[in-house]
Amino acid sequence: MLEVVAGLAAGLVIALLTTPVGVSGAVFLLPVQLSVLAVPNPAVTPTNLLFNVVSGPGALLRYGRRGALAGPLTRLMLCGTVPGVVVGALLRVYAVPGPRAFRLIVAVFLLPLGVWLCVRTVRSGVPTGTRPSPRSVTLLSLAVGVVGGIYGIGGGSLLGPILVGRGMPVAVVGPAALASTFVTSIVGAGTFALLALGADGAIAPHWLVGLSCGAGGLIGGYLGARLQPRLPEKGLRLLLGALATGIGVLYLVQGSA
């Protein structure tokens, strides 16, 4: 019972803080799984994907009512992240199963990305930037999808900070990133379920943790999506950069210990 309550509370708070900037919350749920809920490795990755599947509809429902999901960006992201997350799941099971290597990989990616976004926002305010070409978005989505499959975040949560750093508005990138994360998480969770049939170790998701955290995230994501239009663009960019930087530092410390 305590595990369910802790998972519900963690999912709600995390999703409430991260949804306004297009991050699913799974990127910050991993330390809770490892340190508080004692989910074994590598089951933390498919459990994160399960969280995304359960929590995603709350924010997407709110964004859909505002018409924020229309446009080509979501389709371009999906063309890359869907195949990428399958490759990432394979790598996660057969190439990087250890928690130390796992955390260091994430830290190397997120820490410089978060610092770059914060510094650029402080120095230049809200940059106008040049909209990336469709091909660039798809290729970048493919690479990020692989990382997302390893990490269990579907890819959209990593692609969002990159596109925002290029000057695209958070109000456009955020909903598309969450939609991409939701779809690729379904694909990734299914891939892990299939791999669990023929591989040793804790590969299948921890269903109780994933569902309880996801239920909290469903509520928090809906509330966070309602909050986004009330926040200034510069504040959203700084929040996104700070979140990425914070988790990068945490994983760097844990992975180096």
Long-range contacts of 92-95, Cβ-Cβ distance < 8 Å, separation of 24 or more: 92/42, 92/45, 92/149, 92/150, 92/152, 93/42, 93/192, 93/195, 93/199, 93/203, 94/199
Per-residue pLDDT tens digits of the chain, which is 257 residues long: 777 888 899 899 988 988 888 877 777 787 777 777 777 766 777 788 888 889 989 889 888 888 878 778 888 888 898 898 888 878 877 776 566 776 787 788 778 888 888 888 888 766 655 678 889 889 989 988 887 777 666 666 677 778 887 778 888 888 888 888 888 888 877 877 787 776 666 567 788 888 999 999 999 999 999 988 888 888 888 888 888 888 788 778 877 76
At residue 159, φ and ψ (nearest 5 deg) are -70, -35
- Residue-wise pLDDT for 65-79, tens only, equals 888 787 788 888 888
DSSP code of 232? -
Q: How far apart are CA 101 and CA 186, in angstroms?
A: 25
Please give the pLDDT value at position 223: 93
Which H or E run includes 143? helix 134-151
Please give the pLDDT value at position 239: 87
Count of domains for the chain: 1
DSSP code of 141? H
Please give the pLDDT value at position 150: 76
Handedness of CA 161, 163, 165, 169 (dihedral sign): negative
Q: Which domain covers residue 187, as residue numbers?
A: 2-256
Q: Is the pTM of this model over 0.95?
A: no
Total H helices, total E strands in the chain: 10, 0
